[in-house]
Amino acid sequence: MARHLVTSALPYINGIKHLGNMVGSMLPADVYSRYLRQRGHDVLYICATDEHGTPAELAAKEAGLTVAEFCAQAHDAQKAVYDGFELAFDYFGRSSSPQNVEITQHFARKLHENGFIEERAIRQVYSPVDGRFLPDRYVEGTCPHCGYDKARGDQCENCTRVLDPTDLINPRSAISGSKDLEVRETKHLFLLQSKLQHEVEGWIATVSAEWPHLSTSIARKWLTEGLNDRAITRDLDWGVPVPADTWPELAAEGKVFYVWFDAPIEYIGATKEWADAADDGETRDWKSWWYDADDTVRYTQFMAKDNVPFHTVMFPATELGVREPWKKVDVVKGFNWLTYYGGKFSTSQKRGVFTDAALEILPGDYWRYFLIANAPESDDSSFTWEHFTATVNKDLADTLGNFVNRVLSFSRKRFGDEVPAGRVAGEAEAKLGEEIARLLAEYEEHMEALEFRKAAAALRALWSAGNSYLEEKAPWLEIKADPDGAALTLRTAMNLIHLYAVVSEPFIPTTAAAMRGAFALENDTATWVTGDQAKALDVVPAGTAFTVPPVLFAKITEEDLESYRERFGGAPEA
């Protein structure tokens, strides 16, 4: 079996993330990791909070905390939300960790030794009112490309173009709001990406065949436009310090590395954190995943499209430039935007549903299923309360939840608390088994290909097949003339419930556990369902004790829907 290294783009420390962040990186990575584990693969799913950069400093100042205090509290708050969504990270680290500092400084030294970092004098925005140079995100203004008036000095949130602060029209300080800005000379370190362009192009040509079109098109657009040398240090109080043994003058000035230099390195840093956090007596080999990793390690990254350039061009250039055998990504799964009624979710503008508020309303499985079933893969997709309600009520409450409840409740009422025996399976059950095996293979194919919407559709079709079988056999009528036939129908349906519990676990883990726990099966350790098992539908034998779980998914009422619209806003006015 392959060893699968999985990472999702690091959620920024500045505030609780919205549903768009969740579906754009962490949730699909979790679904994929869970699936791979069930199929018997060795999986390491790594994530962390991205804690450096100007927004962290600004948020800490607003909260009246030191940056270290703010980041520690925000990390714990984010982790609590991800626990609520049942994100099964192997480790959820912090980019401010000593491990990341060590590895980032190592990368910088190696890049310098190999001639890919140089010190340059540049002209940078200075604010006399604030008494300091303003790093890119400390400068706001109007984007010269699309006219968005809240663009930051590093990237426009609206059109995703990468910027320098001096590109902005009518720039202002993000600290004081002052427009009295000057441009003064200062020194910074530059990563010479221009010298690495051909190597990056060659690397992408060899690995990108399996990437989705979104990822390859963004990477190639950047390469076609040409890679520019990029400053990788900033004037901040918080960040990975420039090492004094290599750049004593810049270290003395308090320069730190740019967040987009150290953040991808934190994938490695967090893996070392995972190894260092091992219990006494346990040894975790982090280097075998990253340094001179063998061909069995397959590395898959998950991220929204605004993060794709940094992961397909900038970080690979960094890894290539250190001239050491660090593991590079095999597949970059990029996602488009999840919109809120056609407008952007925005952390900074507090537009849309945020993950903590989502969990206040409904448990994580409701959100997990809806988001993956509507993942913005080929195009942007829109969240609306009406669509969410319809999906929950139709797919989760009716198709799955109602099937489980009526099968178990009816069987208990007519045959008691054990799976009934009835007669041997017949033609209808053979036909059902063939259909279940076919749909299961389809589901597996889409999961292997990272096609999440199609996988969700195949899972929904598996659930629907059970309902079709139940409607065809109609055990509530069958029992009057043929009790043994009704018992067979219910036994088959109970086996479907167990199958659903196993194969639905990547999408709805809490509900899957409840369905599986309904049956008192000894040694029920199977992690997946084979094609033959899907055809036979006999894993749960007659005589197995069972219980009826509480309602798995409650329907969303019109009153609920109205309250959600009132709290979060519905469709924007025309």
395 and 350 belong to one structural domain: no
Burial class (CB in 10 A: 0-12, 13-18, 19+), 547: exposed
DSSP 228: P
pLDDT of residue 523: 87
- Do the domain assignments include residue 92? yes
What range defines the domain where residue 246 resides?
114-256
Q: What is the pLDDT of residue 43?
A: 98
Report whether 459 contacts 395 (CB < 8 A).
no
The predicted structure's pLDDT at residue 377: 96
**What pLDDT does residue 54 have?**
81
**What integer pLDDT is reported at residue 175 of this predicted model?**
85
One DSSP character per residue, 21-90 reads: HIIIIIHHHHHHHHHHHHTT-EEEEEEEEB--SHHHHHHHHHHTS-HHHHHHHHHHHHHHHHHHTT---S
Beta strands, E only, 68-146: 91-94, 117-127, 132-133, 139-142
Helix 483-503 / helix 427-448 crossing angle, nearest 10 deg: 10
Residue 349 pLDDT exceeds 70:
no
Known binder of ligand: residue 47?
A: no
Average pLDDT estimate for 116-129:
93
Residue type, 487: A
pLDDT for position 352? 83
165, 196 Cβ separation under 8 angstroms: no
pLDDT band at 572 (very low <50, low <70, confident <90, very high): low
- End-to-end C-alpha distance for the chain, whole angstroms: 54
Instruction: Please write the tens of the pLDDT for every residue from 283-298.
Output: 999 999 999 888 899 9
Q: What angle do CA 86, 33, 215 make, to 5 degrees?
A: 110
Cα 457 to Cα 369, 376, 442, 460, 464: the distances in Å are 11, 14, 10, 5, 10
DSSP SS3 for 14: coil
- Residue-wise over 398-417: b if at least 16 C-beta within 10 A, else e? ebbbbbbbbbbebbeeebee
Q: How many CB atoms lie within 10 A of CB 435?
A: 18
Mean pLDDT of 115-121: 97
* CA gap 4, 510 in Å, rounded: 24
Tens digits of residue pLDDT in 367-413: 999 999 999 999 999 999 999 999 999 999 999 999 999 999 999 99
Which among 337, 365, 382 is the end of a domain? 382
Q: pLDDT for 180-195, tens place per residue? A: 999 999 999 999 999 9
Same domain flag for 342 and 417: no
| 232 located within any domain | yes
Give all strands of the β-sheet with 151-152 in edge-to-edge order. 151-152, 139-142, 169-173
pLDDT value of residue 266: 98
Task: Name the 3-class secondary structure at 165.
Answer: helix
Rounded to whole angstroms, the Cα distance separating 30 from 507 reads 9
Tell me: pLDDT of 55 over 80.
yes
* pLDDT at res. 136: 82
CATH of the domain at 359: 3.40.50.620
Rounded to whole angstroms, the Cα distance separating 118 from 333 reads 33
Q: How far is Cα 451 from Cα 377, in angstroms, rounded to an integer?
A: 8
> Same domain for 66 and 167?
no
Length of the chain measured in residues: 574
537 pLDDT exceeds 50?
A: yes
**Predicted local distance difference test score (pLDDT) of residue 48:** 98
Q: What is the pLDDT of residue 347?
A: 59
Please state, in angstroms and rounded to a whole number, the distance separating the CA atoms of residues 449 and 122.
46
Q: How far is CA 141 from CA 151, 159, 164, in A?
A: 5, 14, 11
User: Which pLDDT tens digit goes with each residue over 193-223?
Assistant: 999 999 999 999 999 999 999 999 999 999 9
Decide if pLDDT at 574 tops 60: no
Check whether 71 is labelled as a binding-site residue. no
203, 237, 256 - which closes a domain: 256
What's 213's domain CATH number?
A: 2.170.220.10
Answer yes or no: do 131 and 251 share one domain. Answer: yes
User: pLDDT grade, residue 573 (50/70/90)?
Assistant: low
Is the pLDDT at 18 greater than 60? The verdict is yes
What distances in angstroms separate CA 290 from CA 137, 274, 422, one per listed residue? 31, 13, 55
Tell me the β-bridge partners of 334: 303
Answer whether residue 494 is part of any domain: yes
Site of tokens 């259909």 = 435
My answer on whether 249 and 281 are in the same domain is: no
Which pLDDT score, from 0 to 100, does residue 348 have?
Answer: 60
Is 80 exceeded by the pLDDT of residue 103? yes
One domain for residues 341 and 473: no
pLDDT for position 382: 94
Per-residue pLDDT at 569 exceeds 80: no
* Mean pLDDT, rounded, for 10-37: 96
Q: How confident is the model at residue 277 (pLDDT cuts 50, 70, 90)?
A: very high
Structural domain contains residue 347: yes
552 belongs to a structural domain: no
| Same-domain pairing of 319 and 353 | yes
Residues 6+ apart with CB under 8 A from 194: 226, 227, 228, 229
273 and 198 in a common domain: no
How many angstroms separate the CA atoms of 49 and 12, rounded? 6
CA angle, corner 566, sides to 562 and 570, nearest 5?
A: 85
Residues 293 and 374 in one domain: yes
pLDDT of residue 180: 95
Using a 10 angstrom Cβ sphere, with 0-12 exposed, 13-18 middle and 19 or more buried, the burial of residue 509 is buried
For the chain, the domain total comes to 3
> Is the pLDDT higher at 26 or at 2?
26
Q: Token digits for 227?
A: 């890679």
Q: What is the pLDDT of residues 477-529, one digit of tens each?
A: 999 999 999 999 999 999 999 999 999 999 999 999 999 999 999 889 999 99
In a domain, 80, yes or no: yes
pLDDT tens readout for residues 304-342: 999 999 999 999 999 999 999 999 999 999 999 999 999
pLDDT more than 70, % of the chain = 98
Nearest to 163 by CA among 151, 173, 174: 151
Reported as a pLDDT band with limits 50, 70 and 90, residue 83 is very high
For residue 341, being part of any structural domain is answered with yes
Q: Do 270 and 252 share a structural domain? A: no
The one-letter amino acid at 285: D
pLDDT band per the 50, 70, 90 thresholds, residue 116: very high
Per-residue pLDDT of 138-165, as tens digits, reads 899 999 999 999 998 988 988 888 898 8
300 and 180 co-located in one domain: no
Structure tokens at 45: 């799913």
Percentage with pLDDT > 90 across the chain:
85
- Residue 447 sits in a domain whose CATH number is 1.10.730.10
Q: Residue type for 111, please?
A: L
Count Cα atoms within 13 angstroms, Cβ side, for 363.
13
Supply the angle between the helices 483-503 and 509-516 in degrees, to the nearest 10: 140
| Residue 396 sits in the same domain as residue 531 | yes
pLDDT in tens, 222-250: 999 999 999 999 988 899 999 999 999 99
Domain boundary among 361, 382, 403: 382
